[in-house]
Structure 1
């Protein structure tokens, strides 16, 4: 028996519609690695709370990597997921009224915008467990929990099923700053949740070492986010900057710091400079952005934005996990200015290829220095070289594929020894 044709069940409660944010991109990439290993990936979503405040979600073409996709409490019609919850529709109506009231200047408590709960960490229900037990049949030679919170599902699988957790982040290391978009987890509790799995898939080296050191009996598998490098460096245009991010606390806080502490210095020295901000992080700035900044929101493709930008910035001030947009920028062959938080876990690989500082004045100085065409071209070439050397799919996912194959293949039986003479 070999791994080919075996079924790998991904259990997720994130709002997964395509490669629209870092965690979704990583999970879909892991599913592609499963396909590349000759195995069949399936997606099971046991909690309708993943919809947040959206009554309908449109699935992008990349979701086709999953052989099947089953979600509790949601109706699948073509490429759309439609909520069947009356409570959600009433919540949407209330949110709409509150939004209109805010635009009219109402500042009452009932009119405040309230984010939906962090779906990934919502406590599991009996209905969630029943759903997993029912739909895992025939789809589960191996189970992979998307985030440690979904290790709860392992109790609903057939005994002996090999299990893994996609770590994404080391939650207890994020600190108290991440209060608006993620769960707060104590170190001991996080270790206990990770220990439920046979293996933990870590996206960067620091977090893989934590698992190896602190979670005995669980295999740590390092699998950085992979990228497909462009053919040649793309120095872009000196006066165009780019930031890409979703609406999460690290992105929002980092961009606010850049607007307040860095952007004024850049504009004063080079008034023609423009910054484009792509991704749902734009939702966090309903009152707009400083002069010279364009909030693009979600875009159909980042390819032309990366190609045109002279410098990609990543001004994160806290966070954990591998920063997916850093890998994308490296693979796009871009000059990059980032904070040390951005480079956590890949400091060695990126040394000399990314300008790095958490000082506002130095950050602005790095951006301005890259207006020089030759310097920008050198940094773009160095970034691309890092992507080629360290973040190809073959290099990133080899260990995951080997673990999957070993998990579904019985150990070889030693040949019988010759009888004693």
Structure 2
């Protein structure tokens, strides 16, 4: 009953436009004072401070800053030119370039919104000029950008690891195969649609053109190898890898290419600071909720209630998939992870589900949530860039949401596919 009352109070505050972080804090403080008395108030600040100073969270602003530096130093243009030289000879090649570049950018920023903002401003106008429908261009850019939270480094994965006390690096490794499967599936769908609608071939394949664009982009192509190689190789932690990414982006973009758009960089850094502040406030407020729930043993009670209904872990995963898909309609990924993961984690452990596997399931659900209105932060960003109607883009996006759902089913019910690399390298 207590958990239900807290949830109803939270929903009521959100419906009257109270920010989620503030609503979380208010609900937690009211619950703590009601059950434990006013003496608990001095602990509130300490709990919030402790929650927001978790070392792995420092990776979030670092990866956002690395992406901002990359987007402001001409790296985007070089990568797109190289991808076009590789894929432009295929029917629908420019749309495939969109997916390929999203996969690359995913390995730098870890943020789908940053991905769609950087790529969409270049590729959506280019696709429109080549005759691709506006709604399709925006839908593809939006869905391919959501691969950024599946492929490492992923900001939602970092948040999940903190909430679940799990390994960030193992989550990153687990995301590689599903991310590549999603990208490949989207490319196959693009080819089918391109043949059906007779979309254009961009250019003939020329080895000289590939070599020329490769040389131009070679330093940029080193970035993900440097960042992920150092993390997976055990040279640095994921948090230190974020700082390493910033340094590498500055050296390559600022000193080697020497193309810094200072106005864009300033805007991107301010936006990144705002995103980080929002996430940190959410984490601090969620620490209050987590402490209260733990003391009252409410997650354990929820777990026992569900286990009395079924102990089949695949049935429980199906129920949680439906639940996360629903809350993904209304909550941003950070808020959903912070709100739900601490509550369901005892249930996950009770039925023997690997926390790393579950983290990947959660991340994929929230990637789909970024594409489904009314919240759909990534979809709305793409629509804004393309100046397209949200509902028209949503209809065009059905094909790509279907691909993401297919990957989700594979990850959920054939766990050895995403977990194979984790088992090989870390267990």
Structure 1-normalised TM-score?
Answer: 0.23
Q: Choose between structure 1 and 2: higher strand proportion.
A: 1
The structure whose RCO (Cα within 8 Å, separation 6+) is larger is: 2
Report the structure number with the largest CA radius of gyration: 1
